Amino acid sequence: MLTQRQLAKTTYGMAPQAPTTPRRTTTTWPDRNDESGRVVDVTMTTWGFIGSGNIGATVARLATAAGHDVVLSNSRGPGTLTDLVDDLGPHARAGTPAEAAEAGDIVVVTIPLRNYRQVPTEELSGKVVIDTMNYYPQRDGNIASLDDESTTSSALLQAHLPESRVVKGFNNIFFQHLAALPRATGAADRSALAIAGDDLEAKKVVSEHLDEIGYDTVDLGLLSEGWRTQPDTAAYGVMYAVDPQAWDQGARPASAVEVAELAAASRRHHDPRDAPLPPRRGTDESTDHHNQE
């Protein structure tokens, strides 16, 4: 259960609602990294982070608040993460991307998409990998298979990590909203986060982890359905915003039903049903609009 101090740190100044019941569970699942078939208690998870910026640090804060361990990494080296590690407390440490990948029972890849080929592969073999990345051509450069929508950004990461089990998640919630909206299991105002992935067991693992850090889950289906929450779609972030035009003006809960309905209403740029959507927008009008890049 989150302490008041931990809650205060997760809210970025927004009014939190403290969890009303303990949400510690004893759910277990097979540890795919352990050939012996040992099971790992969800409460003893180590999260690895490839990227420790807005989203990485926010998820890490939620994970440590739930009592999990985290290993953070970035491109500049562990020494640049000292302040964040100190702030997160004894459950946090820093390493290289390879060390974070190796240490994590579950690993969050949360970097600019343009760098996805730099994500370590061998250390992530067999692991559940959560992909938070979004495609912004203005930031990431043009990627032809995303421009023509013949694939999805998470499918690209899955192709880079063929031995891993990639689940798309956290990509369509502004990091301040993610920090502000965790609630206890069963709370009336609990929010849901969308996931997509090709591996059912991996999605179950992610769903268990999201529950631990304060969120319900909406399963969109395969990675090929992940476009439903990509930038410029109906399910891209607005449902968690008090003011859909100014996302830094506070968070509001969004239920699983609301998230699922918006995802169902999403369209792609090349949707043949009617007129094309406007051109892709820049990062300044997206969940990343506070990105300092």
What b/e sequence results for 236-272 when a residue is b if at least 16 CB atoms lie within 10 Å of its CB, and e otherwise? bbbbbbeeeeebeebbebbbbebbbebbeebbebeee
Stretch that binds ligand NAP, among 9-17, 69-77, 201-209, 271-279 (CB under 6 A): 69-77
Residue with smaller CB distance to ligand NAP, 40 or 94 = 94
Q: Is 6 in the site for ligand NAP (CB under 6 A)?
A: no
Q: Which of 46, 132, 158, 229 binds ligand NAP (CB under 6 A)?
A: 132
Bridge-based pairing of strands 128-131 and 165-168 is parallel
What residues have CB less than 8 Å from 270, skipping those under 6 apart? Answer: 148, 149, 276
* Binding residues among 140-199 for ligand NAP as defined by CB under 6 A: 170-171, 174-175
Site string for ligand NAP, 26-65 (x = CB under 6 A): ------------------------xxxxxxx---------
Q: Is 79 in the site for ligand NAP (CB under 6 A)?
A: no
Count other Cβ atoms within 10 Å, centred on residue 161: 23
Residue with smaller CB distance to ligand NAP, 12 or 40 = 12
Q: Is 121 in the site for ligand NAP (CB under 6 A)?
A: no
Helix/strand number for the chain, H first, E second: 10, 10
Residue with smaller CB distance to ligand NAP, 17 or 291 = 291
Q: How many residues does the chain have?
A: 293
Rounded Cα distance, 220 and 55, in Å: 21
Stretch that binds ligand NAP, among 10-18, 110-118, 156-164, 210-218 (CB under 6 A): 110-118
Q: Which of 62, 70, 113, 128 binds ligand NAP (CB under 6 A)?
A: 113
CB of 89 to ligand NAP, least distance (A): 19
Q: Is 96 in the site for ligand NAP (CB under 6 A)?
A: no
CB of 286 to ligand NAP, least distance (A): 8
Sign for the CA dihedral angle at 51, 53, 58, 63 comes to positive
Q: Is 111 in the site for ligand NAP (CB under 6 A)?
A: yes
- Which of these, 71, 129, 127, 123, lies nearest to 98 by C-alpha position? 123
Q: Is 218 in the site for ligand NAP (CB under 6 A)?
A: no
What residues have CB less than 8 Å from 93, skipping those under 6 apart? Answer: 69, 70, 71, 72, 85
Stretch that binds ligand NAP, among 112-120, 197-205, 209-217, 249-257 (CB under 6 A): 112-120
State the DSSP H helix or E strand holding residue 47, giving kind and residue range, or none if neither: strand 46-50
CB of 41 to ligand NAP, least distance (A): 28
Contact 46, 235 (CB under 8 A): no
- Which of these, 130, 103, 264, 104, lies nearest to 210 by C-alpha position? 130
Q: Which residue of the chain is nearest ligand NAP when measured via CB?
A: 53
| Contacting residues toward ligand NAP, per CB under 6 A | 50-56, 73-76, 97, 110-113, 115, 118, 132-134, 170-171, 174-175, 287-288, 291, 293
